[in-house]
């Protein structure tokens, strides 16, 4: 029993040390990121890693990016690129980065916030043939975030749409 208590205490120390390390890295990384981008949030992944969320908006383009504080900032770890199609629609052009880490869920929430800040009620996107090897994962992701999905399995393409009504 005493041994289990010591192991739990040791785990707490390791967790606290890891968190302290991530906080220190986050402070340093945030300074670097803020020189070039708008830092719009700090969040936590499903693995409890701290992440910095930042964006850039230039002309009709918007890019939501994420840096995981587990590693030193050397550029984004995940991004969603979108275009302001018109005054009512934001169109997702590409999503880049590793999957199954929770990055996409964090970034899509910030993309929805960006749309709301611009009074844009619709986010759209396409599923292309190049996405077909992971289409089931994409469908799961978009359904989880309340997008409507239309797939044309014969032609290996599709459309996604989210409405804030």
| 3-state SS string for the chain | CHHHHHHHHHHHHHHHHHHHHHHHHHHHHHHHHHCCCEEEEEEECCCCCEEEEEEEEECCEEEEEEEECCCCCCCCCEEEEEEEEECCEEEEEEEECCCCCCHHHHHHHHHHHHHHHCCCCEEEEEECHHHHHHHHHHHHHHHHCCCEEEEECCCCEEEEEEECC
Q: Give dist(CA 46, CA 101) in Å, integer.
A: 7
**How far is it, in rounded angstroms, from Cα 105 to Cα 100?**
9
| pLDDT 10s digits, 26-56 | 899 999 999 999 999 999 998 888 899 999 9
Q: At what angle do helices 103-117 and 135-144 cross, to 10 degrees?
A: 50
CATH topology of domain 2-163: Aminopeptidase (3.40.630)
Strands 78-86 and 61-68: antiparallel
113-161 tens-digit pLDDT = 999 999 999 999 999 999 999 999 999 999 999 999 999 999 999 999 9
pLDDT (tens digit per residue) in 128-141: 999 999 999 999 99
Q: Where are the domains of the chain?
A: 2-163
Token digits for 100? 């199954």
């Amino acid at each position: 029993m005493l041994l289990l208590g010591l192991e739990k205490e040791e785990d707490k120390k390791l967790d606290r040390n890891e968190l302290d390390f991530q906080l220190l890295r986050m402070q340093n990384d945030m300074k670097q990121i803020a020189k070039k981008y708008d830092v719009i949030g700090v969040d936590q992944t499903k693995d409890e890693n701290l992440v910095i969320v930042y964006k850039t908006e230039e002309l009709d383009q918007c890019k939501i990016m994420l840096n995981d504080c587990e590693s030193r900032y050397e550029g984004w770890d995940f991004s969603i690129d979108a275009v302001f199609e018109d005054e009512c629609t934001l169109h997702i052009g590409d999503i880049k980065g590793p999957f199954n880490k929770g990055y996409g869920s964090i970034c899509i929430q910030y993309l929805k916030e960006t749309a709301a800040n611009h009074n844009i009620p619709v986010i759209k996107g396409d599923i292309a043939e190049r996405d077909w090897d992971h289409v089931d994962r994409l469908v799961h992701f978009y359904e989880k975030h309340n997008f409507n999905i239309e797939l044309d399995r014969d032609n290996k393409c599709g459309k996604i749409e989210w409405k804030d009504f």
